[in-house]
Structure 1
């Protein structure tokens, strides 16, 4: 009897050891003829690093994304894939050995945390664990920011969004996609225009949206209920998808949600010719008959090193980006704001908003500007080379040398890092963020259901205030904006039960009301979108006629 009991114990232990040695099977989904295995994380399932297009390597470098063939081989989707090639960080620090050391360390750490590769066109799908192919859940497609130079899907946890949607009783599916950035995604020049391969990063995003249409049903999503959502460059991307193909959404999305970004005024893709010429020269392609074809043969490490020498988002020219969307005649037929004026906009409801102090982060690179004359020269050189003296006079008057009126706003004499810092920050914030947002809302008033917001949280952040990206804490930090986002994705209206939800009024030219998120005892208020009216009206007018 004792021997039998001992044998049973031994068998039980052996079977337990075998079970522990076997790989744990995660959730699966069928894509074509392939079984894709993900991971379970509490109430959600994650499927990470799924390729959505062929690798843009070799001869496919600097070409439009090519659709991935039907999946035939099963694979594991349990970890993020590499990000696309990242532009080197160039932090706005005083020149010298210390600055060089800090930038080296920052780039090294960034590369370790977010490894990149030219083979990078992947996406991630996070779904409620109980979703089935028949669930038909709404889908939110996240487009990350980073100045069209940086960014990775691995920086953002879609589980936060899906978990909260489940708690609200309005479950959604979260999708995020990697897309080409920097010189790999936004190469410019006449050669690029002639080849029809401009705005490749936006084209990648579009390809990911097509993938969603084809495959999201397998995860339990409804391809007719996709909302595109982004922050910063991601939000600008959302706006550009709305005007791409002259406003034809191709049925890829039914709503837009923009944080710190709207359709911006940009000029022809040949405006970036100098950056193309620099790369061609530095890679040894200058003497070839077809320089673009030559660039496809340059070793990846060599090309990336050359691209990294171009100005980054924290360089002196700041938000006048070397690598950004431009009019290419394919994806963007015209200056996006002209397309908006012409009504060539996807007919969908949208939400758009900004942070109160959008420009402070980017003004750190211009701390050497301390006089009126230096600021005037800077704007003329980098922002408005075609502007007349009268226009520059008006700009300087509307954005005066007064630290009480500069950004961070409402901080009196505090945060004036230089005599011109708060003034420059106000100019940057209005020119690139507030003016395009207000222009978009005013132009589309009465044509769409629209909602606007202003984030004033973190105003006490030294020197920066409610700076660019602080609104992300109101989403991924599980703030109220996350609930409004989820309800918008589900119902195309951010509002919930009026008995339990602070109501967010629609925006119109007659009543330009916006939800304001603030710190303190009264976190939510409704305010009019009429601050700095003269200055922003000027910015809307002058940036439209002086696109970057």
Structure 2
């Protein structure tokens, strides 16, 4: 296995330098990686952290890598992992302009991809040495487990800001397998023990950090995992893996718009697996999974696989099988608006109820549908974007759907996570109400990335949390810890007062009811 690992790294011919390259260097297992300087930081990009998951390693757990001697170019990001093609609903006018803005500015464009994609990126202060022992933030990007890339985010912004605050950190980002390459689901996948490979890739990257981050000036005992959307969901699921045993790989978590989601057994994805098998001509193979390792030319998400996730994540939370570490979690106020653009054809009460029963929560009863409809009324003044009155009602049901979907996918899972953990560990909670005046979308999903990467207060909170497991400064606004008795949370606002303390009690009856349904009917 060792010789195979060394050989696999040698195959990364694009990294090998034929001639010396000027720039900062770091040594890993005798191999020299040449990065680049950017202001007060150094960047080492596109370093493989596992063997390429191609050929016979497709649909297998990530295999560790050992570096051979030589000098390698680490000045460019590696290729993104395979992406799912997406299409936006047909929109016109101002709505189309807003949707285009979100897709192209917040989520960014999708970059060239490849199956050979398991790479990490490290950004460090220029002055950091192996003796510095700086805290480490490990970024897990979002994108619905279907698209995204670490190259969409500039970790230099975080490191530079941390230096300005006098609390320097090391920044790491990773690729992980997406779509059908990372989250294939079926009985065959479960029997082979290769479910949730994207999450397994993240874990392998964390092992790489634990082994090598000292060489960049980081402390492997001071790692905070950090993600947004699917990245935040991933961070929460990393807290559930191994019965809550972190393996010493991280000591804190910072989660933006993501918590353990209500997913059922991995065999629930059998229909998608069977369709892929048929489309690739593997139907007649004795071992269809092995056939896909050589024949695949490609809605995916984590599921209970019996290995990484031993039960429905929400039930693992209920059972207390969660890492007992400090964490930060929160949501944007209008999480559901962006996703509800795909449902502009739902315009009547009957269509809303049909969507609930046949698409969002198949299997629920008519009485349960009616209860949800009661808790999320058609009154546009109660819908999302919240607190916008009669405005932003794209269709008669748009704000209703946006309120329901934002709670069902993001807010209610967060509340459930807190309900079962907040009195057992240090927790801080936020809601982002910035960009509330953005037409149709309001404080839209992912808008808080601008606050964390753009030099805002959230980025400062992240940096302080990574340093001392507490987001608060010595002076200024003091973010209270969350308790089940008080439920105090920070609210990021537009205007002269950027942060205030509020209570996490909104729509409690509705969210509690949704959680009771998803516990009984995981997707």
TM-score (norm 1): 0.88
Q: How does 1:280-429 map to 2 (within 5 A)?
A: 280-298=277-295, 303-304=297-298, 322-429=299-406
Question: Alignment length, in residue pairs?
Answer: 496
State the partner residue of 2:74: 77
DSSP 3-state at the match of 1:297: helix
1:457-504 Cα offsets, whole Å, 9 max, x none, are 001111100010000010111110000000000000001112xx3110
Q: Which residue in 2 is equivalent to 1:140?
A: 137
Deviation at 1:347, TM superposition (A): 1.0
Bigger CA drift: 530-539 or 22-31? 22-31
Asked if structure 2 preserves the Cα contact closer than 8 Å seen for 1:53 and 1:68, the reply is yes
CA distance in 2, matches of 1:522, 1:455: 13
> Secondary structure at 1:410's aligned position in 2?
coil
Shift of 1:112: 8.2
Cα distance between partner residues in 2 of 1:531 and 1:138: 35
Tell me, in whole angstroms, the C-alpha distance in 1 between the residues paired with 2:91 and 2:384. Answer: 21
- Map of 2:472 onto structure 1: 495
The reply on whether 1:513 has 2:510 as its aligned counterpart is no
- Give secondary structure in 2 for the equivalent of 1:422: helix
| Greater Cα radius of gyration, structure 1 or 2 | 1
Which SS does the other structure have where 2:448 is aligned? Answer: helix
Cα gap change, 1:111 to 1:507, in 2 (>3 Å): closer
Tell me the secondary structure at the aligned position of residue 140 of structure 1: strand
Pairing of 1:23-42 with structure 2 (within 5 A) = 25-42=22-39
> Which residue among 506, 510, 514 is the counterpart of 1:531?
506
Whether 1:251 and 2:248 are equivalent positions in the alignment is: yes
Correspondent of 1:452 among 406, 426, 429 = 429
SS of equivalent residue, structure 2 residue 291: helix
Contact 1:442/1:508 (<8 A) preserved? no
Deviation of the 1:74 alpha carbon: 2.1
Deviations 1:314-357 (A, max 9, x none): xxxxxxxx200000000000011111111100110000000000
Q: What RMSD in Å do the two structures reach over aligned CA positions? A: 1.8
Q: Does 1:440 align with 2:417?
A: yes
2:332–2:445 CA contact under 8 A, matched in 1: yes
Q: Say if 2:23 and 2:35, in contact at 8 Å, map to a contact too.
A: yes
Residue 48 (structure 1) aligns with? 45
For residues 93 and 491 of structure 1, the distance between their equivalents in structure 2, rounded to whole angstroms, comes to: 47
CA distance in 2, matches of 1:515, 1:339: 27
Summarize the alignment of residues 76-95 of structure 1 with structure 2, pairs less than 5 Å apart: 76-93=73-90
Counterpart of 1:116 in structure 2 is 113
**Cα distance between partner residues in 2 of 1:448 and 1:243:** 15
Q: Give the 3-state SS of the residue equivalent to 1:160 in structure 2.
A: helix
Provide TM-score, normalisation by structure 2.
Answer: 0.92
Q: 1:168 aligns with which of 151, 165, 170?
A: 165
Q: Which moved more, 1:175-184 or 1:70-79?
A: 70-79
Cα distance in 2 between the residues matched to 1:221 and 1:298:
41
- Work out whether residues 451 and 506 of structure 1, in 8 Å CA contact, stay in contact via their aligned partners in 2: yes
User: Which whole-Å deviations, capped at 9, do the CAs of 1:411-462 have from their partners, x for residues lacking one?
Assistant: 1111111111110101100001110111111111221100000000001111
Aligned-partner SS, 2:453: coil
Structure 1: runs of 5+ lacking an equivalent: 1-21, 305-321
**CA offset at residue 542 of structure 1?**
1.4
- Cα distance change on mapping 1:200 and 1:347 into 2, 3 Å: same
Residue 505 of structure 1 aligns to a residue whose secondary structure is: coil
How far residue 23 of structure 1 moved from its aligned partner, in angstroms, is 6.7
Deviation at 1:76, TM superposition (A): 1.2
Superposed CA deviations along residues 173-229 of structure 1, whole A, max 9, x for unmatched, are: 000000001111100011111111100000000000000011001111100000000
Q: Deviations over 1:257-288 (max 9, x none)?
A: 00000111110111111111111111111111
Tell me the alpha carbon deviations over residues 516-544 of structure 1, each in whole angstroms, 9 at most, x when there is no partner: 00111221100000011211111222122
State yes or no: 1:183 paired with 2:180: yes
* Unmatched segments (≥5 aa) in structure 2: 1-18
Partner of 1:229: 226
Cα distance change of structure 1 residues 111 and 518 upon mapping to structure 2, 3 Å threshold = closer
Q: Shift of residue 383 of structure 1?
A: 2.2
2:312 and 2:109 map into 1 onto residues whose CA distance is 38
1:88-146 CA-to-partner distances (Å, cap 9, x unmatched) read 12212269xxx9xx99xx99xx9986110110000000000000011000000000000
Task: Tell me the SS of whatever aligns to 1:514.
Answer: strand
Distance, in Å, in 2 between the alignment partners of 1:373 and 1:493 is: 48
SS in 2 for 1:353: strand
Mapped contact 1:240–1:263 kept (Cα < 8 A): yes
Query: Quick check: 1:214 aligned with 2:191?
Result: no
Q: Distance in 1 between matches of 2:76 and 2:147?
A: 20
| Distance in 2 (alpha carbons) for counterparts of 1:284 and 1:487 | 53
